[in-house]
C-alpha cells in the first residue's frame, strides 16, 4: 500500500532531522516537490483537503526550521569560541 503524501512528507522530515547538515538544500527541494502536488490541488483545483495537508506540512516545517535555527546558532557560537582560542 502506498503512503499518503503527508506520511511521505513526515518521513522526509524525520529523516532530515538526523541528517540535515549533510544536504539541507536537497531536503528543501524534496519538501517542495512533495508539497507542490497539494499546492496545485488547492490553488488550481479548489480541493480544500489539499489545503489542510499544506497547513500540516507548513507546521511541520516550522518546527523543523526552529530546530535547524538552534543548531545553526550552536555551530556559530562554537566557531566563535574556537576562533578566539587561536
The per-residue pLDDT for 15 is 72
Assigned domain for 49 exists: yes
Q: What is the pLDDT of residues 36-48, one digit of tens each?
A: 988 999 999 999 9
Q: Which region, left, alpha or beta, applies to residue 48 given φ > 0 means left and ψ of -120 to 50 means alpha?
A: alpha
Q: Is residue 56 part of a domain?
A: yes
- pLDDT at position 78, please? 93
Let me know if residue 3 belongs to a domain.
no
Q: How far apart are CA 61 and CA 30, in angstroms?
A: 12
For the segment 13-68, what is each residue's pLDDT rounded down to a tens digit? Answer: 777 666 666 777 777 788 888 889 889 999 999 999 999 989 988 888 888 888 88
> According to the model, what pLDDT value does residue 3 have?
65
Q: Does 20 fall in a domain?
A: no
The closest alpha carbon to 21, from 70, 83, 82, belongs to 70
Total of domains in the chain: 1
Instruction: Report the chain's C-alpha Rg in angstroms.
Output: 17
Domain membership of residue 32 as a residue range: 25-85
Amino acid at each position: 500500500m502506498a503512503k499518503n503524501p503527508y506520511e511521505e512528507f513526515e518521513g522526509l522530515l524525520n529523516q532530515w532531522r538526523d541528517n540535515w547538515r549533510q544536504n539541507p538544500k536537497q531536503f528543501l527541494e524534496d519538501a517542495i516537490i512533495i508539497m507542490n502536488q497539494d499546492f496545485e490541488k488547492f490553488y488550481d483545483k479548489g480541493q480544500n483537503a489539499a489545503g489542510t495537508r499544506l497547513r500540516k506540512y507548513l507546521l511541520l516545517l516550522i518546527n523543523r526550521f526552529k530546530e535547524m535555527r538552534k543548531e545553526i546558532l550552536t555551530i556559530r557560537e562554537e566557531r566563535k569560541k574556537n576562533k578566539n582560542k587561536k
